Amino acid sequence: MEQPILSDKNEFPTEEIIYSHIGKSKILWRSLFEYIHENHSDFCEEWKYYNDGKSWLLKVSKKSRTIFWISVLKNSFRMTFYFNDRAEQVVINSTIADDLKEQFINGKRFNKIRGLTITFKYKKEIEFAKSLIAIKLSIK
């Protein structure tokens, strides 16, 4: 998996800095956040530098519940969700791409939690992200 590039602890990831790294994926970034701001105004966004991964990550949460994480890559960005085992059937029956379903089914388990990561390259990934946000909000 590609390494995040926001690795300077002293350089807060402003919109300008993010756009300079993600290139043409800026359109996808804007589309994703336009959807989030219009449909999930109760989500909170918090950039934080994590020493273990030596990079900045954006944590998006609703109250105390983390919905997803975003990391910035060269010419792209990725969004990672963590689901418990109760989400398995919902993920399998969802409209996300088969490779994402397989990633979840075969993914490394952390106790009863598994990750699912979308790397944004195409517009269709916005729809997958919307589906995964809905799944995350529906599973307790």
Delimit the domains of the chain by residue range: 15-138
Tokens read off for 67:
């919905």
pLDDT band for position 67 (50/70/90)? very high
The mean pLDDT of 86-111, rounded to a whole number, is 94
**Interval 56-66: pLDDT, tens:** 999 999 999 99
75 has pLDDT over 70: yes
pLDDT band for position 88 (50/70/90)? very high
24 has pLDDT over 90: yes
Which range in 2-6, 123-127, 136-140 is most confidently predicted, on average pLDDT?
A: 123-127
The mean pLDDT of 109-125, rounded to a whole number, is 94
4 has pLDDT over 80: no
Residue 71 is predicted with a pLDDT of: 96
pLDDT band for position 112 (50/70/90)? confident
10 Å Cβ neighbour count for 130? Answer: 16
Residue 140 is predicted with a pLDDT of: 78
Do the beta carbons of residue 58 and residue 46 sit within 8 Å?
A: yes
Torsion of Cα atoms, 29 then 23 then 69 then 48, to 10°: -110
CATH code of 15-138, in short, is: 3.90.1150
Please state, in angstroms and rounded to a whole number, the distance separating the CA atoms of residues 101 and 74: 25
Cite the beta strand spans of the chain per DSSP E.
43-50, 55-62, 65-73, 76-84, 109-110, 113-119
79 has pLDDT over 90: yes
